[in-house]
A and B are shown apart, each in its own frame.
Chain A
């Protein structure tokens, strides 16, 4: 029972990180129509940006804000100079996926060329350890879960109640129609890249905080979790991604407590393939 509860705690932590990444990825796909396989590489860029700031003697929490800004800018640039030109030319979706894989290589290995292949950690305090209702988490881990909850609520309020959020949903549903209704879709798309890029930076940094020691290739397997969460909820559905992240996060960590930890990704992988095979539109998606 103790192991179970402790693993649920870790599951919530993983889910917290995963939810931010999955919501970012799924919104990016929904609004911009780019299945951006470079998303995890942008996360890594965020983690190392925060590391650079941290190494200069500044708190990692400041580094986190810098990482969000840098990743927002990086994502906007990716769109302006790479994805948008391909889309304007009418390239097939699969071409853009291949291009995004190329971008993933450029960013990921570009970072490795700069920082080298070694793993690093932030200089930071984890705070004291709390035992609450069987969960064992440090202060920092509680902060991560808190950040994630704030982001989820903010995403919900933005999508539901603001003009920007409604414009994003309209653009996602039908870009042409949205434009004809007077929505400046170009601007909405740019803002989406910035916002989801910032989410990638945030997710990358708290992922690095969470796993402690990280390197340029640390997010490679995390991608499996992101994709599983996204496809479980249905690609393009923000709330689906949140639920998917919760289920995948808890399921992987709980299973890791009972089987060999290195196999914990298997459950996410099986979920992903099953969703692709049976219901690619996700639990929340329409039947086709």
Chain B
């Protein structure tokens, strides 16, 4: 009986931790190789909150605190400790650092914190660790070893796991969760669509940290001891193995993985050892780690989606169009000079150097409101770099960028996107494991469920916003003739269809100006023509477009004016007809 209880509590603690990791890694794509330190922090804090002062037990162990606090304060403290510990790592998860470098930073932190806690005795009794941590309500019940108490504890912990699971699901199955998944699939694109990556990732580190901390608090009050040997860096790998095998992004899979990997492995090792007492003591635990390493590699190769894959979110398309007219909101230009062609975007002497190479040098240009402006130039002219600098996905080395009369040079991409200045990418940039509909929905601003708090309030809080957004997305899909693909994964589409998804998604942000990087590259000529007509229609509705394109026939038909770049500088500007008459343009581009 005791064995069954122990098994259940271990399974529950592992399941809780795995759900936290599944949120971080599976949903948000934050690879936290230091996950175990958050569990450790929760365990230590719960222990010192529950323990009496160190002198009470004859000072046989040393630790800070010792507040002798009643249940449930130690568990709450454990969750808080995990959450607070996440904050110093914020600097690792911003826009600048590669995800794998950040993961290594966290891994090394886990290795080092373990070493420090092991060696510094006054903090948590060093290598020996803390012992005789009181169980919840220990002083109120006669004996904590009674079966009744043990079962009560077990049921309580399972209820707690259910609560954590419910919370994780609520976050995941919301517009906020969709944003997290979009960031996971392509963070740079999510940034360009107005998502604040730093805030999102910090949020997930904190939530995952709190869940990990709580699991540590529960564990320590059950086993009553906690030492550095319980949280070596490799323990994180076990949890990763569990989430990968169970199915990342599917929290039920994470629970399943927790039961298969940590619990299953520990128990089978124990059973084999009991049956064969003559085996060397180190052999089976070592082989167990080898097996975990093998399982990770084999699953990532043969079944990367895990036993229970992330499920598809199918969304029904409303029959009736939500709006009859334009698919973008008509924008009124800011008050002031109503000159017919006032500039919406201006670049003033903008340069971008890459270690001495001037990709863009001293470009000044101005894009007039409501135009479909083309940007052409030979390969390496700096067109894509200029576009990136204008959108904020790359920084200008010098110069000023003004948008709607405001200096936006220092604003990151997501802030410019929120002002209505949105770019698309030259390379495929769809969110692969989101459906076409979800790709569109993820870009819509202002959904009440697209914040952590809104998601926690639940579906009723954001249902109306969601319905309105779905209606708008359905209208755009209808306009582009892609209703049939609504619930297809974007990663399964053809190259041309992906370009369309990208344009539609950009339109969902409700932009005032689109920066398109070769939107028709690799697209069937007929489809390219339709995209051109669509853009013309949109610019009549008030949208401004700056478009990089190689196909001169497209420029001839749709773009006016056209800007020519060569060697990082603007060479000329005018209608295509005018440009064809200019010798230096013809020499730089049209011939060579």
Q: Which residues of A contact B (CB under 8 A)?
A: 35, 37, 82, 85-86, 91, 93-95, 97-99, 101-106, 108-110, 112-113, 116-117, 220-221, 223-224, 227, 235, 260, 262-263, 265-266, 269, 272-273, 276-277, 280, 286, 288
Contact = CB atoms under 8 A, between A and B. Distances in A.
A266 B97 contact: no
B112 A224 contact: yes
10 contacts: A93-B98, A93-B100, A98-B300, A105-B296, A112-B282, A113-B287, A116-B280, A117-B286, A224-B111, A265-B112
A105 B289 contact: yes
Contact of A113 (B103, B104, B109, B283): B283
A224 B34 CA distance: 14
B437 interface: no
Contacts of A260: 119
Contacts of B96: 280, 288
Given A106-B290, A277-B91, A116 B282 contact: yes
B31 interface: yes
Given A103-B297, A116-B280, A94 B116 contact: no
Contacts of B354: 286
Interface in B202-242: 233-234, 237, 240-241
B69 interface: no
B112 A98 contact: no
Contact of A105 (B91, B234, B283): B234
User: Chain A's interface: helix, strand, loop or mixed, by majority?
Assistant: helix
A264 to B, nearest CB: 10
Most A CB within 10 A of own CB, among B119, B233, B293: B293
A117 B244 CA distance: 29
Interface in B248-298: 280, 282-283, 286-290, 292-297
B290 A105 contact: yes
Interface residues of B, number: 47
Contacts of A101: 33, 107, 237, 240, 293, 296
Most B CB within 10 A of own CB, among A93, A101, A280: A101
Interface in B65-114: 91-92, 96-105, 107-109, 111-112
B3 interface: no
A110 B31 contact: no
Contacts of B301: 85-86
Contact of B293 (A109, A220, A272): A109
B100 A105 contact: no
Nearest to A113: B286
Given A109-B286, A220-B111, A262-B115, A97 B100 contact: yes
B105 A221 contact: no
B336 interface: no
B152 interface: no
Contacts, number: 126
A273 B91 CA distance: 10
A276 B111 contact: no
B355 interface: yes
A106 B104 CA distance: 19
Interface in B370-400: none
Nearest to B304: A95
B112 A266 contact: yes
A282 B240 CA distance: 29
B297 A272 contact: no
Contacts of A262: 115, 119
Contacts of B289: 105-106, 108-109, 112
Interface string B497-526: 000000000000000000000000000000
Contacts of B280: 116
A101 B289 CA distance: 11
Given A97-B104, A109-B293, A113-B287, 15 more contacts: A35-B100, A95-B304, A101-B296, A106-B293, A113-B290, A220-B111, A263-B119, A269-B108, A273-B105, A273-B109, A277-B91, A277-B97, A280-B97, A280-B98, A286-B354
Contact of B92 (A263, A266, A277): A277
A110 B355 CA distance: 45
A82 B293 CA distance: 12
A101 B107 CA distance: 10
Contacts of B31: 94, 97-98
B105 A103 contact: no
B207 to A, nearest CB: 20
A203 B119 CA distance: 27
B237 A221 contact: no
Interface string B308-325: 000000000000000000
Nearest to A231: B101
A65 B487 CA distance: 59
A117 B282 contact: yes
Contacts of B300: 86, 91, 95, 98-99, 102
Contacts of B104: 35, 37, 97, 227
B297 A102 contact: yes
